[in-house]
């Protein structure tokens, strides 16, 4: 099973600042990686697929990069609505997926 490890567990950021979230795979997943945002009491929302492609309707301040085993989600200028938990998910061995444990982005 491919293990996905996210860091940090919690990221404290001030509104307007940049946030950088990391995701590492235990073996190469090529570019078969997605990022999701989840707010309390809501289902997750797809932000990024194929490591760097924004899903429909996702603002340009969200960007993804990386391939192989190292991936990054960057939020260029944090808005109040961006404080949430973010998950990465690999689908290289689709249809068997694994998620990272999540990174909580909180207000500093």
Within 10 A of 91 (CB to CB), how many other CB atoms are there?
17
Within 10 A of 20 (CB to CB), how many other CB atoms are there?
13
Distance between CA atoms of residues 7 and 13, nearest Å: 14
Task: Kindly tell me which of 18 and 93 has the beta carbon lying closer to another protein.
Answer: 93
Q: Is 59 in contact with 47 (CB distance < 8 Å)?
A: no
Q: What is the closest distance, in whole angstroms, from the C-beta atom of residue 100 to another protein in the complex?
A: 7
Binding site for another protein (CB under 8 A): 1, 32, 34, 36, 38, 43-46, 49-50, 55-56, 87, 89, 91, 94-102
Q: Which residue has the tokens 């998620």?
A: 99
Q: What is the closest distance, in whole angstroms, from the C-beta atom of residue 75 to another protein in the complex?
A: 19
Task: Kindly tell me which of 1 and 81 has the beta carbon lying closer to another protein.
Answer: 1
Task: Kindly tell me which of 45 and 61 has the beta carbon lying closer to another protein.
Answer: 45
Q: What is the closest distance, in whole angstroms, from the C-beta atom of residue 81 to another protein in the complex?
A: 18
Q: What backbone phi and psi angles, to 5 degrees, belong to 42?
A: -125, 155
């Amino acid at each position: 099973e491919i293990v996905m490890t996210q860091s940090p567990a919690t990221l404290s950021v001030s509104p307007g600042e940049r946030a950088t979230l990391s995701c590492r795979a235990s073996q190469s997943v090529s570019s078969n990686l997605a990022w999701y945002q989840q707010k309390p009491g809501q289902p997750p929302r797809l932000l990024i697929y194929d490591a760097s492609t924004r899903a429909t309707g996702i603002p340009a301040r969200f960007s993804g990069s990386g391939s192989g085993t190292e991936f990054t989600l960057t939020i260029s200028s944090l808005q109040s609505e961006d404080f949430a938990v973010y998950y990465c998910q690999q689908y290289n061995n689709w249809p068997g997926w694994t998620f990272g444990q999540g990174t909580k982005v909180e207000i500093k």
